[in-house]
Chain A
Amino acid sequence: MSETEIARPASRRGGSRRGEMVVHAVLILGAALMIVPFIWQVLTSFKTPNEVASLPPTLLPTAPTVHAYATFFQTVPFLRQFMVSVSSLVMRVAGQLFVASLAGYAFARLRFPGRDLVFTLYLLMLMVPSQLFLLGQFEIMKELGLLSKLPALAIPGMFSAFGTFLLRQAFRGLPAEFEEAARLDGANTWQVFWHVMLPMARPMIAALAVLTSLYSWNDLLWPLIVTPTGANRPLTVGLAAMQGQYGTDYPTLMAGALVCLAPLVLVFLLLRRQFFAGIASSGLKG
């Protein structure tokens, strides 16, 4: 940021201090609207159910209690669901990065019969909403006996036309010189890919990793339908189920929601750049 900030003031046609204060005021108001729900969530989680339903609402908890957190951890197998969320995320991301970078590189740099036709099919697949795949994917998981098992959560997401497309663009944007030099040194295609091109594509791969993690962590519909018995439910489905059970016990719900949303928010604060790059690349044009 600092680099752009130094370069910027000259470009900003000498904006007045007053003008900037007004802009800040508007932005702060907007930002406040973004975080009020989170603050409300935190405050509510320390109240009692009775206090939540009282009128007029109290802003700060009158008698702060961690009872809601205790209820949440006692009744919800948080650790197990957390591990399910994490392991399905790792499987999905690792699988997708591997599969998509292989294919992305081949589509970007190699020649083979039918390449353009196959790639067009990939592009067509990008446009189809996921609901068109759900029935068939569910059936396959059922046939394989994977319902309510961990791999079922991750497998479909390991194959992604979008991920392949994104990495193809990344590989296409890389200079050819290194590749040529490696080939002249006698490297075969695999070696060129693994030792030369893959490391160079790292920023985009990181962006895809972050984006895929986001989808995996937040996904609700697919885990909801492939875990009919309740075993191996990830956090999203667990939280939704908890809501059915504790419909009006808002402090417990808020405590649970906070505990479940915290991990990814922390990761986001650490890997902000990659998150932004991932989101920006999701709108990348071909």
Chain B
Amino acid sequence: MSTATRVPVRRRVRRTGTPTPTRRTRRRTDWWAVLMIAPATLGLAVLYLWPFLETFLKSFKGNALFGPSKFVGVQNYSNLISNDAFWHALRNSMLYTALVLLGVPLAVVLAALIEQVTRGRTIYQVLFFLPVVTLPVAIGMVWRLILNGDFGLLNWVLSRLGIPGEYWVADARLTIWAFAAVGIWMGLGINLIMVLFISGVSAISPELYEAWALDGGGRARQFRSITVPLLSPTIFFVVILTVISALQMFDLVFIMLGSVNNTAIDGSKTIVYLFYEAAFVQFKQGYAAAIAVVLLMVIMAATAIQFRLQRKWVVDV
């Protein structure tokens, strides 16, 4: 009962948004609550918060294999920025991210098209979603075959169209582009479903479209003038999530090149691949920790930049 005076009633209402809390819940600390958050909070503290702090500390320590590592200051970081491989991986990750972003407008257009049809909507949703429920390992394997420079399906199709083929997954200048194509293919279903389901296309009021039609507006401009602005908060969210996950891309590099000892791996590493290699192949934990911290900073910077840019294009609905 003693806590009743400590907690102003108004504050609770504002914070939780629960409609009219009962007198009871309002008045006292519920000790059940402490019990209920204990498993999640302890688990997160031990398995997430502590490792996070540990990684941060490790990034300032040496790479001793056994026993405690000494503090080495910012040496891991200075090694990192003086290493060409790091800049190359950073460039690869950023290029991959930029290319994969092209999948977002594609998903928006597809979502709008799916909303236009009266029949077969579910079938389209299912087909576009199929890669999402497929093991990335399996996806990497089949695309490695399709993109094969000698006998791949893509090069054969291209040759029929009179376009010379390329060694898509054996030429380090092309691998990131190949990963991005596969990445877009893989992620299309997720983006599509998010655009369709969170305050998505179907939520746009039909009257709006009708009014637009009465005014004689065409479909393409309707898409640009109504659909895209109204969807912009959702699109913004999809973009944020796409960037965050693209900057962490690892699977495709590992499956399509790393695990099969393809020599093109050297020019095709992403930041997370570099991290994996440093931490679990070369066992340079301090160095790996520094890579992870840099990745965090890159992701935070990318997200912050997008929140800035958002003011320019996201419409407050």
Contact B47 A276 (CB under 8 A): no
- Nearest opposing residue in chain A for B293, CB measure: A132
Q: Which residues in window 1-41 of A have CB below 8 A to B?
A: 1, 4-5, 8-15, 19-20, 23-24, 26-27, 30-31, 33-38, 40-41
Q: A33-B185, A102-B37, A111-B30 are in contact. Are A20 and B118 (CB under 8 A)?
A: yes
- CB neighbours of B15 from chain A (8 A): 116
Residue-wise, chain B 129-148 has the 8 Å CB interface mask toward A (1 for contact) of: 11111111111011101100
Instruction: Specify the chain A residue showing the minimal Cβ separation from B44.
Output: A159
**Stretch in A62-70, A72-80, A86-94, A261-269 touching the partner:** A261-269
Residues in chain B near residue A11, CB distance under 8 A: 206, 209-210
Beta-carbon contacts under 8 Å, B118-162 to A: 118-139, 141-143, 145-146, 150-153, 156
Tell me which residues across on chain A come within 8 A of B300, comparing CB atoms.
Answer: 127
Minimum CB–CB distance for A27 against chain B, Å: 5
| B residues near A204, Cβ cutoff 8 Å | none
CA distance A146 to B143 in the complex (A): 34
The yes or no answer to B41 lying at the interface (CB within 8 A) is yes
* In contact, B18 and A176 (Cβ under 8 angstroms): yes
Quick one: closest B residue to A161, CB to CB?
B44
- Note all chain A residues with C-beta closer than 8 A to B234: 283
- Say whether A265 contacts B133, CB under 8 Å: yes
Q: Which of B25, B142, B272 contacts A40 (CB 8 A)?
A: B142
Write out, one digit per residue, whether chain B residues 288-299 have a CB within 8 A of any chain A CB (1) or not (0).
Answer: 110011011001
A159 to B119, CA, bound (A): 41
Is B114's CB under 8 angstroms from A37's CB? no
CB contact list, B42-76 vs A, under 8 A: 43-44, 46-52, 54-56, 58
Interface pair B137/A112, CB less than 8 Å apart: no
B259 with A156: CB separation less than 8 A: no
Say yes or no for A200: interface residue by CB 8 A criterion.
no
User: Which of the residues A27, A107, A118, A133 comes within 8 Å of B48, measured between beta carbons?
Assistant: A133
Q: Pick the contact of A135 from B146, B213, B292 — CB < 8 Å?
A: B292
Residue on B with the closest CB to A112?
A: B33
The verdict on B190 contacting chain A, using a C-beta distance below 8 Å, is yes
A179 to chain B, nearest CB (A): 8
Which residues of chain B have C-beta atoms less than 8 A from A269's C-beta?
126
Q: Is B163 an interface residue (CB 8 A)?
A: no
Contact status of A122 and B44, CB under 8 A, knowing A34-B130, A243-B260, A265-B133: yes
Which A223-249 residues sit within 8 Å CB-CB of chain B?
A: 224-225, 235-236, 239-241, 243-244, 247
A4→B202 CA distance, assembly (Å): 10
Interface residues on A, range: 35 or more
Q: Tell me which residues across on chain B come within 8 A of A250, comparing CB atoms.
A: 145
Q: Chain B residues with Cβ under 8 A from A188's Cβ?
A: 32
Most B CB contacts (10 A, CB to CB) among A109, A128, A139 go to A128
Residues of A within 8 A of B123 (CB): 31
Known: A106-B37, A264-B134. A12 touches B116 (CB 8 A): yes
Tell me the bound Cα distance from A245 to B126 in angstroms: 33
| A239-B49 contact, Cβ under 8 Å, with A40-B145, A99-B40 | no
- Kindly state whether residue A83 has any CB partner on chain B within 8 Å: no
Q: Does A166 have its Cβ within 8 Å of any Cβ on chain B?
A: no
Residues of B at the A interface (CB closer than 8 Å) are 3, 7, 12, 15-22, 24-26, 28-34, 36-37, 39-41, 43-44, 46-52, 54-56, 58, 110, 113-114, 116-139, 141-143, 145-146, 150-153, 156, 185, 188-190, 193-194, 196-198, 202, 206, 209-210, 212-213, 219, 234, 237-238, 241, 244, 247-248, 250-251, 254-255, 259-261, 272, 275-276, 279-280, 285, 288-289, 292-293, 295-296, 299-300, 303
11 intermolecular pairs with C-beta atoms under 8 Å apart: A37-B142, A109-B25, A125-B49, A135-B51, A136-B50, A172-B17, A175-B19, A236-B137, A247-B261, A276-B125, A283-B238
* Pairs of residues from A and B, 3 with the lowest C-beta to C-beta distance, nearest first: A136-B51, A11-B206, A159-B43
